[in-house]
Amino acid sequence: MSALEAEGVVKTYPDGTAALAGVSLSVPQGETLALVGESGSGKTTLLRLFNRMVEPSEGEVRVEGRPVSELDPIALRRRIGYVPQDGGLIPHWRVERNVDLVPRLLDWDAERRKVRVREMLELVGLSPDVHAPRYPAELSGGQRQRVALARALAADPPVVLLDEPFGALDALTRLELHRQFVELKKTLGKTLVLVTHDLAEAYRLADRIAVMRGGKILQIGRPEELKEAPADPYVRALLDA
C-alpha cells in the first residue's frame, strides 16, 4: 500500500495564482522521495497537502490509504513528522521541551517522554546532558536542524515531511548532515518526503526524484532514470547545471 497519494490535485489561491495544476503522485511505504524545483514550482505546496497545512481545491490526498479530508487535521499532524527550513524551533523553549512537543501532545507518560528525549538527541548526534537544557539561540545552525529532526521523529511517526531541511546550512555542515540522514533513513525505514532546490542533494538522499515546474510534475523516477532519459528539456537543463 502507498503511504502517501495525491490524485489530480489542483490548488488555486483566492487571488487566482495556481500553485498546483493537476498533480498525481504515489509514495510507497519506506521510500524517500525528493521534490525538486525552483521556487514557485509548487513543491512546498505539494508537501503541505499531506499534513493538511494546505487544503486542495480539487482532487484527493490520501495518507495510508485514507483520504485526509476525512481525518482530523490535529490528530493527523501529530502522526506526521515535520522539519521546516530553519528548524522552526520554539525560541523560548529549551531543546528538551522542543523535542518533547509531540509526545506531550499525545499524552505519553512522563517517564517514557524523558527517556524518549534522550534517545532522540543521541540519535541525531547531540549530547542529552550538554544540549537538552539549552535554548535554540544557544545552538549552531546545524545543531538546531538536528534538534528539529529529533523533534519530528520523537513520537515515531510513520511519515516525515522535510521542507528544505538543510537549506540554511553551510556546505560542510550540510554534507555531514547528509551522511547522517542516509544512515538514519536506512535504520528507521520511514516514508520521507523531502523538498529541495538542490538536485545534488536529491541525488544523494532520495530513492526517487520528482522534478516540478509550474505546479506540475515534469518527471518522476529514480536518480539514474532521470539521468539516462530526461523526459523534458527543463529536466535535462537542470541535470546539466
Partner 1 sequence: MRRFLLLALLFALLGASPALAADRIVVGSKNFEESRLLGEVFAQLLESRTGLEVERRLGLAGTQVCFEALKTGAIDVYPEYTGTGLVSILGEEAEGGPAQTLNRVRSEFLSRWDLWWVAPLGFENSFEVAVPKELAERERLKTISDLARISKRLRGGFGHEFVGREDGLLGLQRVYGLDFASVQPFQHALKYQAAKAREVDAVDVYTTDARLITHNLVVLEDDRGFFPPYEAAALVSGETLRKHPEVGSILGLLAGALDEETMRAFNLRLQEGKEDEAVVARDALRSLGLVKGGERAERETSSSPTLTHYLWDERSALMRRTLEHLGISALALLAGIVVAVPLGLWLERHRGGAEATIRLLGMTQTIPSLALLAFFIPFLGVGTVPAVVALWIYSLFPIVRNTYSGVRDADPRAVEAATALGMTPGQVLREVRLPLAAPVLMAGIRTAAVLTVGTATLAAFIGAGGLGEPIVTGLQLANSAMILSGAIPAALLALLVDGLLGWVERALQPAGLTSSR
Pull the grid cell for residue 237. Answer: 537543463
Reduced to 3 states (helix: H, G, I; strand: E, B; else coil), residue 5 is strand
Binding site for partner 1 (CB under 8 A): 48, 51, 53, 74-78, 81-82, 84-94, 101-102, 105, 135-138, 148, 151-152
Of 138 and 232, nearer to partner 1 (C-beta) is 138
CA distance 199 to 69: 32
Q: Count Cβ neighbours within 10 Å for each residue of 52-85 and write b for 16 or more, e otherwise.
A: bbbebeebebbbbeeebeebeeeebbbbbbbbbb
Q: H or E stretch including 182?
A: helix 171-188
Give the nearest distance from C-beta 137 to partner 1 in angstroms: 6
Please check whether residue 7 is in contact with residue 13, taking contact to mean a CB–CB distance below 8 angstroms.
Answer: no
Of 143 and 219, nearer to partner 1 (C-beta) is 143
Of 1 and 74, nearer to partner 1 (C-beta) is 74
Give the nearest distance from C-beta 48 to partner 1 in angstroms: 8
Give the nearest distance from C-beta 33 to partner 1 in angstroms: 18
Give the nearest distance from C-beta 200 to partner 1 in angstroms: 25
Of 121 and 162, nearer to partner 1 (C-beta) is 162
Of 120 and 220, nearer to partner 1 (C-beta) is 120
- What angle (nearest 5°) sits at the alpha carbon of residue 106, between those of residues 102 and 111? 85
Give the nearest distance from C-beta 53 to partner 1 in angstroms: 5
Reduced to 3 states (helix: H, G, I; strand: E, B; else coil), residue 78 is helix
